[in-house]
Amino acid sequence: MQTAAPLAETVRSKILERRRQRAWELHNRGWKAVDIAAALDVSPAAVSQWLRRARTDGPDGLISRPKPGAPRALTDRHLLMLRVLLNSSPRDHRIESDVWTRPLVAEYIERLFGRRFSLQHVGRLMRRIELDSKPIPRVVRLELEDLLQGVDVSRIRTRIRRRHGNH
C-alpha cells in the first residue's frame, strides 16, 4: 500500500515532468527558450537544460526518475513524534535538563525508533523539525505517549504498519 508522502511525491514528480514535456512541445512549435521560461514561470537555464536533455535523449529524457540513495531512516510519522517530544520540556520526561541537547535527542531517537544517528545528523533533524509548522495529528501524540511509557514498541509498530502502511 502506498503511503501519503510517496503518493504526494509521485504527484509532484508527474507535475514537474509534464512541465518539462510542455517546454519541449513549445520548443518544437518554434518558441524561444526565454519565452518558454516566462510562460512556464521557470528560469531560462532550467529550460535550456531540459531542451538539451530532450535533444540528446529524446522526449524520454524528460521523464521523472526515482531519486537515488537509500530511503530515509525516519519516516514522516517519526519526525512528527519527535517534534511533539521536542515541543515539550525535557523535565516533563524526568530529565534533569532545561533544553533538548543533541545527545539527549539522539538517545531518545534510538530508544523510541531503534535508529542511531551521529550528533551532527541529529542537529540537522532538530533544525528541520524546528522549521516545520504543519499541525500534529492527535494520534501521533498518543502513539508517542505509548512509546514513552514503555508499551511494547513492536506491537505499536505492527499496529501502525497495518493501519498506515510500512512506517
Cβ proximity of 142 and 159 under 8 Å: no
Do 88 and 54 belong together in one domain?
no
Do 18 and 96 belong together in one domain?
no
Burial class of 47 by CB neighbour count within 10 A (0 to 12, 13 to 18, 19+): buried
69 within a domain of the structure (yes/no):
no
For 93, the domain range is 76-164
Query: The cell 531519486 sits on which residue?
Result: 67
Do 92 and 135 belong together in one domain?
yes
17 within a domain of the structure (yes/no):
yes
**Euclidean distance between CA atoms 50 and 59, whole angstroms:** 10
| pLDDT score at 6 | 53
Do 58 and 81 belong together in one domain?
no
- Buried b or exposed e, range 49-77, using 16+ CB within 10 angstroms: ebbebbeeeeeebbeeeeeeeeeeeebbb
117 within a domain of the structure (yes/no):
yes
Do 28 and 89 belong together in one domain?
no
36 within a domain of the structure (yes/no):
yes
- Number of structural domains (the chain) is 2
**Euclidean distance between CA atoms 163 and 167, whole angstroms:** 10
| pLDDT score at 130 | 82
| pLDDT score at 3 | 46
Write the CB contacts of 21 (distance below 8 Å, at least 6 apart in sequence): 59, 62
Q: What is the mean pLDDT of each run of 10 residues along the chain (167 residues)?
A: 52 89 94 94 94 93 84 86 88 86 92 92 90 76 79 62 61
Do 136 and 96 belong together in one domain?
yes
Do 58 and 98 belong together in one domain?
no
**Euclidean distance between CA atoms 86 and 67, whole angstroms:** 30
Do 41 and 95 belong together in one domain?
no
Do 108 and 146 belong together in one domain?
yes
Do 22 and 50 belong together in one domain?
yes
159 within a domain of the structure (yes/no):
yes
| pLDDT score at 1 | 38
Nearest by Cα to 47 from 77, 25, 14, 15 = 25
152 within a domain of the structure (yes/no):
yes
Cell of 58: 529524446
| pLDDT score at 161 | 65
120 within a domain of the structure (yes/no):
yes
